[in-house]
Amino acid sequence: MSKTGINFEYVSEYLQYVRRKRTGWLAEKELYWRNNGFPIAEPEVGDLLEIICKLKKPGKILEIGTCVGFSSLLMNQTVPDASIITIERNPVMIKEAKINFELYDKARNIQLLEGDAANILPDLNGQYDLIFLDAAKGQYPVYLPDIKRLLSSEGVFISDNVLFNGFVAKGAPDRHRNKTIVMRLDEYLKMLEADDDFKTVLLPISDGVTLSIKK
C-alpha cells in the first residue's frame, strides 16, 4: 500500500510518473505551496477540477476550503468567466489567499467569504453549477443538506479527502483522536450514496474523491 493507504505504492508512483505536469505561473506557485506544507489539492484532484470545469463550463462555483487559493485560481484559470465563491476560516490562509486573489484574479471573479462554513452555508442563496468541498472532514455530513440545496439541477459536486488515508475503508483510524472523523466520513459517504437525487462515483485517487451529479 502507498503512504496514503489508498492505492498500491507502485500504482501511485506510476500515476505520478505518467501524469503530464501542469506548466505556467500557477504550476510554479502550486509547487511552492506544496513544498512548503500548504494543504492544497493533490495534482490529480487539480486535474479532475480542470476537466470538470472544461466539461461543465460552470457559471457559478462554490468552494468550501480556500487555503491559499490554489484550487480557486485553477478553476478561475480554466473558466475565467465563472464567478467563484470560496469559504475559509483560518486567518493565516485568508491573509495569504487575499494577496493571491489580488495578484492573480485580475477580473475579480473570486469572492472570499471569511468564517466557518457551518455558519456561512445556511445563509447562502442561489444555485451553483459546481461545488467543491475541501474543508473540515468531520463536518461533511453537516454540510451536505446545504450543498444539495445550493447545487443546481445537473450541477456537479466534488468532495475531497473522503477516504482519509484509507482509514474510512478499513473502518479503523490510526489513532483515537481520528475516530470521529473516520465515523463521520463513513456516515457522509453512505448519506451521499443513499441519496436518490445524486449519482455518485467514489474515485480512489489522491485521498479519495467523490464526483456526483444532482439529477
Ligand X SMILES: C[S@@+](CC[C@H](N)C(=O)[O-])C[C@H]1O[C@@H](n2cnc3c(N)ncnc32)[C@H](O)[C@@H]1O
Question: Interface with ligand X includes 139 (CB under 6 A)?
Answer: yes
- Taking CB under 6 A as the criterion, the residue among 15, 118, 124, 211 binding ligand X is 118
151-160 and 209-214 as β-strands: parallel, antiparallel, unpaired?
antiparallel
Task: Please identify, using beta-carbon distances, which residue of 71 and 83 lies nearer to ligand X.
Answer: 71
Question: Interface with ligand X includes 90 (CB under 6 A)?
Answer: yes
> What is the grid cell recorded at 28?
510554479
Handedness of CA 128, 116, 77, 31 (dihedral sign): negative
- Taking CB under 6 A as the criterion, the residue among 93, 151, 158, 162 binding ligand X is 93
209-214 and 128-133 as β-strands: parallel, antiparallel, unpaired?
unpaired
DSSP secondary structure letters along 60-78: EEEEE--TTSHHHHHHHHH
Task: Please identify, using beta-carbon distances, which residue of 142 and 191 lies nearer to ligand X.
Answer: 142
- Taking CB under 6 A as the criterion, the residue among 70, 101, 128, 157 binding ligand X is 70
What's the rounded Cα separation, in Å, for the pair 67 and 86?
Answer: 10
> What is the grid cell recorded at 152?
443546481
Stretch touching ligand X by CB under 6 A, among 19-27, 36-44, 177-185, 204-212: 36-44
Contact pattern from residue 157 through residue 196 relative to ligand X, giving x for each residue in contact according to CB under 6 A and a dash for the rest = ----------------------------------------
